[in-house]
Amino acid sequence: MQEHTLTNQGLKDYYASMGYAGRVGFGTRPALAVIDLAMAWVDPASPIGTPRLEETVVNTVTILESARAAQIPVFFTVMSYDPALKEPGRNALAKSRHLSMMVRGSHWLELDPRLERREDEPLIHKQRASAFFGTTFLSQLIDAQVDTLIIVGCSTSGCIRATAEGSSDLNFRTIVVSDAVNDRSPSAHEANLFDIDARYADLVSMAETLSYLDRVKSRAVPA
Amino acid sequence: MQEHTLTNQGLKDYYASMGYAGRVGFGTRPALAVIDLAMAWVDPASPIGTPRLEETVVNTVTILESARAAQIPVFFTVMSYDPALKEPGRNALAKSRHLSMMVRGSHWLELDPRLERREDEPLIHKQRASAFFGTTFLSQLIDAQVDTLIIVGCSTSGCIRATAEGSSDLNFRTIVVSDAVNDRSPSAHEANLFDIDARYADLVSMAETLSYLDRVKSRAVPA
Amino acid sequence: MQEHTLTNQGLKDYYASMGYAGRVGFGTRPALAVIDLAMAWVDPASPIGTPRLEETVVNTVTILESARAAQIPVFFTVMSYDPALKEPGRNALAKSRHLSMMVRGSHWLELDPRLERREDEPLIHKQRASAFFGTTFLSQLIDAQVDTLIIVGCSTSGCIRATAEGSSDLNFRTIVVSDAVNDRSPSAHEANLFDIDARYADLVSMAETLSYLDRVKSRAVPA
Amino acid sequence: MQEHTLTNQGLKDYYASMGYAGRVGFGTRPALAVIDLAMAWVDPASPIGTPRLEETVVNTVTILESARAAQIPVFFTVMSYDPALKEPGRNALAKSRHLSMMVRGSHWLELDPRLERREDEPLIHKQRASAFFGTTFLSQLIDAQVDTLIIVGCSTSGCIRATAEGSSDLNFRTIVVSDAVNDRSPSAHEANLFDIDARYADLVSMAETLSYLDRVKSRAVPA
C-alpha cells in the first residue's frame, strides 16, 4: 500500500475499490436543515466568525427559496446554553471555550437575517455538534414523514459532519450540499468532505439540489 | 485570513486562539474501549485489511496488560449484522458495501487473538461507527461508574472519531491514544486526529497512558 | 375532586375532559412488532411463564398472517444477555432477577414456534423493556419508511407499555392491539391499558386491526 | 394462577416470588430531580391542575432543603413547546391536547415559587414524559458523576414513571420518593407506584430520603 495525499483521485479510487463512497440518492420526502448560520459564525466581528461563510449564506438563501417553493419542511439550528453554563459540560467548555458565548438571549445566537426564518420553521436549540443530540429534531423529522435530509450551513468539520453522521445512522437519505457548507479551515473542510462522502452522505452540488427541489415542487417526484 | 496546510503549527495556533483544543484530562475511574480490532480489519487477507494496524494491535496489547493490572473495566467492539442484512440499512450498504461481510458467525468478526479477550470483558456488537449507537455500551459505563473513556483501535476516521465524539457529547472525559489508533489512509488519519484533538478528546501518547494506568493501579489516583 | 376507581367510565370521562386519550389513527405505512413471545414467557414450565398468554399467541398468529399478506415489515423482539451477565446492569438484576435466565443461546429465548418467524423478519435482541433502548430498531423502522407501529405480545405493564411510549415519543402512530397483549397480573394489565390509551397509543381491537391490514393489502390505503 | 386485586400483599408476594421488586439501594453520589411542579399542574386554576399536589410540593420543599444542605446537584423539569406547536408532534397533540398550553413564555410553565429554584440549578425543558427524551439531562448527570437519581414531583403515571424507567435503563440507582409524587387519579397513582417498585426504582419514604441526605451532608456516605 502506498501513501496517498488527501484529496487526490488515487485515494478516492482506493476507497471506492473497497466499497466506500457509493451513492444513496434523493428520496421522495425531503427536509432541509440549515445548521448554525447565526451571528457567532457569520459575523466577522465575532471571535469565531469567518468571512469564508459569506458564499455559504448566499447559497443557503437560494436553496431556502426553492425549499419553501416546494413546501418541504425547513429546520434551523443554533447552539444554545443556559447563562450559568451548566449545560455544556466539562468537555465542551475545555475543548471549545468559545461556546461560553452561546448563551440564550445573546446577539451571537441570532440567525443571519437574510435567512428570513418563518415562525413555523422550527429552530432547534442544540448543545452539541449533532442536531440530533439532546433535541427532538428526530421526532420532528418522523412526524413529517421525512426520508431525505438536505444539510447546509457550518462548520464542515464540526456540526455538518456530526449531523450528517447522525442522519445516516438513523437511515435518512443524507445529502450535504457541497457549495453550501464551509469551515474556517480550508484543509479541515476538504478532509471532512472526503470522509462525509466516503461514509455518511452524498455530496451534491447546489445546482443538482435546486434541480431536485424543482422536481419535488412540480410533483415529478412521487410522494 | 490566510490559507493553512493541514497539520502545521500555524493551524493549531489559529484554532487555539479561538478557544479550541483545550485539555480535559484523565479522571479517576477509567475504562478502556478497544474498537474493532477484528479479522476484517487486521487480517491483511481481508478485502479491507491494512498492514498499518500491526503497531496498533501490538500497542493495544501493551495497554490491555496495564488496564487489567489496574483492574479497570475493559470493553471490546465489533461490527455485527444479521445474515439477511436487514440491520445495516440502505445508507451503510450503499456507502460501505464491505459491511456486508460483517455477518454474525463470520471469521471476519473474530477479535485478533493477541487481545486475549476474557469472558467478563464485554464484547459490544455495534452496527454503526459509534460504539454508543444502538447498543447498551453507555448503560454499562454508567453501571461501572466510569468517568474517563480511553479509546484505542481502528479506524481513526470512522469508528474512533465517532466513538470519541459520542463519549465527549455524554461528558465522559475522553482520551484517544495517539499511537494505538490508525487508519488505512495516512492523510485521513492525520486530519481526523486534528479534529478529534480540537473538538472531542485529548490525544495522549501510549507512554502517558501507561503511566496513568500505573497510578490507577497503585491507587495514586483517588477513587 | 372525587376519588375514582380504576377502569370505570367516570375516570375515562374525567381524563377526556382534560384533553387526554384522543385518537391518532392508523397511517399508510405500518409495521408490526411482536414483543417477547418467547419460551421464557409463553412456556408454562418457565419460572415466569403464564397461561394467560395463550390467547395472545393465537391472536398474534392471526395478525401475522394478515401482516404478511399485506407485505408490511414484521419485527420480533426478545430479551437477550451475555453469559457473564455484564449487560443487564445492577438495576435489572436487582429488580428483575429472572432476567438472569435470558442468556443468549438459552431455550428460554426461542420464539414460540407457532409464530413461524422468517429469516428476513428481523429479531431485535433487546436488554430493556423498550424495543428502542440500546437497539437499532428505530433505524430499521426509518429505513422501511414506517409511519405506524402496531404492537402485540407481552407484558402489558412492562415491554408493551415501554415500547408504545418509545414509539409515541418518536412520533410514530402507535397502535396497541387490545386483545393481542397480556400480563401475568390482570390488574396491572388493566391499569396499564388505561395509561397507554390515555397517553401513548390507540387501543384497537384485533378485528379493527385485521380490517385495516386488509385495506393495506388491497392498496385501499394510499402509500 | 388466581386473580389478584391490584395493590394487595398477595400480588406483591407473587411478583417477589418471580424475582421482581428487589432493592437497588442508594449510592454515594446522588442528584435530585424535581419533575414538573409548575403552574400548569399545581395551580388549581389550571385546566389540568389538581389539589392533590399540595402535599407533594410541601414535601418537595423539605427535600430540597436537605439536598441543598448536602450540596448535591438539583435539577428541575418543565414541559415546554414552541409557540407554533411544531415540537409536540401529532401523538402528543392528539393524546394530550392540554399540552398546547405549555408554550414557552406562558405563566403555566413557571415553577411553583415555593421551590425557590436557584440560577445554578438547571431547568430542563422537556417535550415528552421522560426527562431524558430529547434533552441533555443525561449528559449533565454524567458530568456531575451522579450514581443515584432521586425523583419527586408529578405525575406518577406519566413523567415520574417515564423518568424512573429512563434512569433505570441507564443504570442510575433510581429512587422515587413515595410521599413526594402524586397523580390526579388516585388509582393510577397506586397502580404505577406498584409497577415502578416492581420494575424500575426503589420506592422510598421521605423520612428515609431525608435521613440519607443527612448522611451525605455529614460525609457519612463515602464519595
HEC string of chain B equals CCCCCCCCHHHHHHHHHCCECCCCCCCCCEEEEEECCEHHHHCCCCCCCCHHHHHHHHHHHHHHHHHHHCCCCEEEEEECECCCCCCCHHHHHHHEHHHHHCECCCHHHCECHHHCCCCCCCEEEECCCCCCCCCCHHHHHHHCCCCEEEEEEECHHHHHHHHHHHHHHCCCEEEEEEEEEECCCHHHHHHHHHHHHHHHCEEECHHHHHHHHHHHHCCCCCC
Q: What is the mean pLDDT of residues D103-122?
A: 96
Convert the pLDDT of each residue in A85-99 to its tens digit.
999 999 999 998 888
Can you tell me the distance from the alpha carbon of D179 to that of D59, in angstroms, rounded to the nearest whole number?
Answer: 7
pLDDT reported for residue A223? 53
- Chain D hits for C159, CB-CB cut-off 8 Å, are none
Which pLDDT belongs to residue A6?
45
Q: What whole-number distance in Å separates Cα of residue B2 and Cα of residue D108?
A: 52
The pLDDT of residue A221 is above 80: no
Residue of C51, C91, C185 lying closest to D24 (CB–CB): C91
**CA distance to partner chain A, nearest, from residue B138 (Å):** 14
Tell me the chain A residues in contact with residue D134 when contact means C-beta distances shorter than 8 Å: 134-136, 139
Nearest to C87 among B86, B89, B122 (CB): B122
- Give the CATH number of domain C27-217: 3.40.50.850
Q: Please tell us whether the domain made up of A26-216 is placed in CATH 3.40.50.850.
A: yes
Give D18 to chain C, closest Cα distance, Å. Answer: 6
Q: How far is D143 from chain B (nearest CA, A)?
A: 5
B12 touches chain A (CB under 8 A): no
Residue to mutate among D136, D141, D146, with most A CBs inside 10 A, is D136
Q: Is A132 touching C (CB cutoff 8 A)?
A: no
Give pLDDT, residue C5: 47
% residues pLDDT > 90 (chain C): 82
Q: D29-44, pLDDT tens digit by residue?
A: 999 999 999 999 999 9
pTM listed for this prediction: 0.94
Q: Using one digit for the tens of pLDDT, what is the confidence trace for B154-179?
A: 999 999 999 999 999 999 999 999 99
Neighbouring chains of A at 3+ CB pairs within 8 Å? B, C, D
Structure confidence at residue B15 (pLDDT): 73
Point out the residues of C that are catalytic: 159
Mean pLDDT of chain C: 92
Whole-number pLDDT of residue D163: 98
Pairing of strands C148-154, C123-126: unpaired
B137 Cβ under 8 Å from any chain D Cβ:
no
Distance CA D182, CA D50 (A): 10
Helices A186-195 and B186-195, interaxial angle, to 10°?
120
B4 closest CA partner among A50, A197, A58, A15: A50
In chain B, the percentage of residues whose pLDDT exceeds 90 is 82
Q: Supply the pLDDT for residue C2.
A: 39
pLDDT of residue A2: 39
**Chain D hits for A119, Cβ within 8 Å:** 83-84
pLDDT at C164 over 90: yes
* pLDDT tens-place string over residues B59-88: 999 999 999 999 999 999 999 999 999 999
Q: Is the pLDDT of residue B6 over 70?
A: no
pLDDT greater than 80 at residue A81:
yes
Which residues of chain C does B86 touch, with a Cβ-Cβ cutoff of 8 Å? 120, 122, 140
Contacts of B94 in chain A (CB under 8 A): 22-24
Residue of C nearest to A139 (CA): C170
Contacts of B139 in chain D (CB under 8 A): 169-171
Contact (Cβ atoms closer than 8 angstroms) between residue C144 and residue B86:
no
Q: Identify the pLDDT of residue A9.
A: 67
The active-site residue, picked from A31, A159, A180, A201, is A159
CB contact under 8 Å between D192 and C194, yes or no, is no
Search chain D and give the residue with CA nearest C199: D95
Instruction: Kindly identify which residue of chain D lies nearest to residue A139, measuring between CA atoms.
Output: D89
Neighbours of chain B (3+ CB pairs under 8 A): A, C, D
User: Does the interface predicted TM-score (ipTM) exceed 0.85?
Assistant: yes
CA distance A93 to chain D (A): 12
Residue-level pLDDT at A4: 41
Read off the pLDDT of each residue in C28-48 and give the average, rounded to a whole number: 96
Digit-coded pLDDT (tens) for D134-177: 999 999 999 999 999 999 999 999 999 999 999 999 999 999 99
Chain A to chain C Cβ contacts (< 8 Å): 24
Q: Is the pLDDT of residue A219 over 50?
A: yes
DSSP A122: -
Identify the pLDDT of residue B124.
Answer: 98
Confidence of residue C16 (pLDDT cuts 50, 70, 90): confident
Which residues are B77's β-sheet partners? B35, B124
Say if residue B10's pLDDT is above 80: no
pLDDT of B142 > 70? The answer is: yes
Percent of chain A with pLDDT over 90: 82
Provide the pairing of β-strand D148-154 with C173-182.
Answer: unpaired
Candidates C4, C20, C185; nearest CB to D11: C185
Interfacial B residues in 17-76 facing A (CB < 8 Å): 18-24, 47-48, 50-52
What letter represents residue C101's amino acid?
M
B217–chain D nearest CA distance, Å: 19
Q: Where does the pLDDT of residue D5 fall: very low under 50, low under 70, confident under 90, or very high at 90 and above?
A: very low
C223: confidence class by pLDDT, cuts 50, 70, 90:
low
C20 vs D165: CB contact, 8 Å cut-off?
Answer: no
Q: Please tell me the distance from the alpha carbon of residue A59 to that of residue A65, in angstroms, as a whole number.
A: 10
Tell me how far apart the alpha carbons of residues B54 and A130 are, in angstroms, rounded to a whole number: 33
Residue B1: pLDDT band by 50, 70, 90 thresholds? very low
Is the minimum CB–CB distance between C139 and chain A shorter than 8 Å? yes
E-state strands within chain B: 30-35, 74-79, 123-126, 148-154, 173-182, 202-204
For D27-216, CATH gives: 3.40.50.850
**Neighboring chain B residues of D147 at a CB cutoff of 8 Å:** 142, 145
- Determine contact, residues D163/D33, Cβ cutoff 8 Å: yes
Beta carbons of B91 and A171 less than 8 angstroms apart:
yes
Confidence of residue A13 (pLDDT cuts 50, 70, 90): confident
8 A C-beta contact, residue A35 and residue A151: yes
* Count of CB atoms situated within 10 Å of the CB of A86: 19
Q: Which of C15, C22, C94 sits opposite D24 (nearest CB)?
A: C94
C-contacting residues in D 91-120 (Cβ below 8 Å): 91-92, 94-99
> Is the Cβ pair A19, B98 closer than 8 Å?
yes
Which of the other chains make 3 or more beta carbon contacts under 8 angstroms with chain D? A, B, C
The model's confidence at residue D1, banded by pLDDT at 50, 70 and 90, is very low
Tell me which architecture the domain covering B28-217 has in CATH: 3-Layer(aba) Sandwich (3.40)
C-alpha angle C50-C52-C58 in degrees, rounded to nearest 5: 115
Give the cell for residue B58.
501490538
Q: Which chain B positions have a beta carbon within 8 Å of D143's beta carbon?
A: 171
Whole-number mean pLDDT of chain A? 92
Give the closest-approach CA distance of C45 to chain D in angstroms: 13
Q: Decide if D154 is catalytic.
A: no
CB pairs under 8 A between B and D: 24
Which residue in chain D has the smallest CA separation from C22? Answer: D95
CA distance B27 to chain D (A): 11
CB pair distance less than 8 Å for A89 and D140: yes
Partner-chain contact C142 A172, CB within 8 Å: yes
What is residue D152's three-state secondary structure?
strand
